[in-house]
Amino acid sequence: MLKHATRATFHDNIMEQMITAIKEKHWEPGTKLPGEQSLAVTFGVSRACIREVLKALEHSGVLEARPGQGTFLTWDADKILNGNQLSSAMFSEYSYPELIEIRRLIEGQAAYWAAERASSESIENLENILLSEGKGKTKTEVHNLFHKSIVEMSGNRLLVKLHDTLRSEILSQKEFHFTVLPDQDLEQQWEIFNAVKAHAPEKAWKAMLKHVDLYWKKLGFELPKS
């Protein structure tokens, strides 16, 4: 039975309730879900909050929005929800805004330092990573290698260690939202690379923040101020 969200983080509480309801066959695969306004009343939150949850579930493949018809539960919803990585992301103890704030802090600073400190060899290696897409590496592999390399190029071992401790959290939530990364992903990585290669710290920092924000803008989250 769905009820008003009670935790401080409404988004996470609603997400948990909806996933549980889907798993318990509250809605059958292929059926239409109640509208945003109806769900907002059920959970006692704003339509904007409901919209965030529905967008996240839609991007994960659990829901399908049909223009002019409404939002429907996909036929693969059960299979998707039973995936270990996806489930861990959905039930993470950290909220999405918390994760983006930390990613901006760590990866933005890493890009800044990489532009200041990167050697010719490390820049060449970073370029080879970007060029490897479709040549033995998938888009997702290139994405993950790129971010890992930028942090390592910062030259700060403690920052590398801190990023590693958050790596599983970051990867699982990326997997949750995007089974296929958007085309803008690689374009923005080249923008970051060019700033690093030019040893332009400020440009590299801004390009990295824009890159990290890409996912959250797509989902309609309010972004923190730089």
What string of pLDDT tens digits covers the 226 residues of the chain?
665 655 445 666 787 788 888 888 888 889 999 999 999 898 888 888 788 788 778 767 788 888 889 999 888 887 777 754 454 445 455 566 677 788 899 999 999 999 999 999 999 999 999 999 878 888 778 888 999 999 999 999 999 998 887 776 666 555 554 444 566 788 999 999 999 999 999 999 999 999 988 866 665 556 656 5
Joined tokens for residue 76: 């693969």
Joined tokens for residue 62: 């659990």
The Cα-based distances of 202 to 112, 138, 143 in angstroms read 6, 30, 22
3-state secondary structure 72-107: EECCCHHHHHCCHHHHHHHCCCCCHHHHHHHHHHHH
| Predicted pLDDT at 144 | 85
The whole-model pTM stands at 0.62
Count of alpha carbons within 13 angstroms of residue 4, beta-carbon side? 5
- Residue written as token pair 């890992």: 148
Q: Which residues in the chain are classed under CATH 1.10.10.10?
A: 10-82
Selection from 171, 42, 1, 41 nearest residue 103 by Cα: 171
| Predicted pLDDT at 195 | 98
Name the fold adopted by 10-82.
Answer: Arc Repressor Mutant, subunit A (1.10.10)
Contact 45/2 with Cβ under 8 angstroms?
no
Q: Which residues in the chain are classed under CATH 1.20.120.530?
A: 96-219
For 96-219, CATH gives 1.20.120.530
